[in-house]
Amino acid sequence: MIELAFYYHDIQLISSVFMQLTGLFVNGIIRTVYYICPHLRLVIMFNLILFGPPGSGKGTQSEKLIARYGFKHLSTGDILRNEIRNGTRLGQEAKSLMDQGQLVPDAVVIGMIRSALEQNAGVNGFLFDGFPRTNAQAEALDELLAEKNTAISVVLALQVSKTELIKRLLNRGLTSGRTDDVNESVIGSRIEEYERKTAAVADHYKKLHKVVHIPGEGTVDEIFDHLTSEINKRQK
């Protein structure tokens, strides 16, 4: 006997269809209807963390990846500003702490990310930018994503030599107007700070075999091809 299954994503359709087909046997075929909760779509989300030191071109590559795959860009800085602008409970709590010169605790940041995930449940996946920055944040993010039946799919880390980074940033400083782009010593400190902050997070995801180092030197398109190649391999 063959079972024929019908899948519906619209809860409003399921009752009428189920009533019509329940108990019907047509030419030896059992007709069954299943309702698939839309939130289960999170199971097939592709979520990535993109690492890249100052001057690596991470911003440019993020924009291209979002355009190609339809990822939702999650920058903790943008989320924080949005929550404060909208006057949410978490935004007010964060603003109060910032006004006192205190750092926003991980629990508040994770709460904001939770809100962003729930508000964008139908996207193809998330591109995390600027988060996580510590091992504790990485563990908290993993737990949150697990609650949503999803996970970080891959961590792509752009690798560019320090000499090349300094050259790029000094060149950018000619037109960017940023004071931290014109001093080689300051640029060096920024690169070292990046390496310190990301080392623990990279180690966390290396244990899960999710870190891939991407050559960050070459043309924009060449680097983008390296990134998309790694993503495509994991989407099959």
pLDDT along the chain (236 residues), means of 10: 39 38 44 44 75 92 95 85 82 80 78 89 90 90 93 96 95 88 91 87 94 96 97 88
In angstroms, rounded to a whole number, what is the distance separating the alpha carbons of residues 112 and 94?
Answer: 10
CB 71 within 8 A of CB 123: yes
Task: Count structural domains, the chain.
Answer: 2
**Taking a C-beta distance cutoff of 8 angstroms, is the pair 35, 14 a contact?**
yes
Which H or E run contains 68?
helix 58-69
Q: What is the pLDDT of residue 32?
A: 43
Q: Are 115 and 90 in contact (CB under 8 A)?
A: yes
Q: Do 14 and 126 share a domain, yes or no?
A: no
Report whether 139 contacts 204 (CB < 8 A): yes
- Residue 16 shares a structural domain with residue 85: no
Q: Indicate if 99 and 22 belong to the same structural domain.
A: no
Tell me if residue 206 is catalytic: no
Q: Which residue in the list 68, 89, 178, 233 is annotated as catalytic?
A: 178
151 shares a domain with 121: yes
Q: Which of 72, 168, 190, 210 is catalytic?
A: 190
Helices (H), 72-219: 76-86, 89-99, 106-119, 135-147, 162-176, 184-206
- 24 and 100 both lie in a single domain: no
> Hey, is 52 helix, strand or coil?
coil
Q: Decide if 89 is catalytic.
A: no
Of the residues 58, 72, 168, 210, only one is catalytic, namely 58
Give the CATH number, domain containing residue 89. 3.40.50.300
Is 85 catalytic? The answer is no
Write down how long the chain is.
236
Judgement on whether residues 30 and 136 belong to the same structural domain of the protein = no
234 classed as catalytic: no
Active site residue 114: no
At residue 129, the pLDDT reads: 87
User: Are 130 and 216 members of one domain?
Assistant: yes
Range(s) of the domain holding residue 62: 41-235
What pLDDT sits at residue 43?
43
Looking at the fold, whether 162 and 89 belong to one and the same domain comes out as yes
| Helix%, strand%, coil% for the chain, nearest 5 | 60, 20, 25
Q: Are residues 76 and 190 in the same domain?
A: yes
**Could you tell me which residues are beta bridge partners of residue 159?**
215
User: H or E element: which one contains 21?
Assistant: helix 11-21
Residues 109 and 219 in one domain: yes
If asked whether residues 138 and 117 sit together in one domain, one would say yes
SS3 153: strand
Distance CA 176, CA 189 (A): 19
- Position 103 scores a pLDDT of 65
Of 95, 133, 162, 167, catalytic: 133
pTM: 0.74
The token pair at 123 is 């996207």
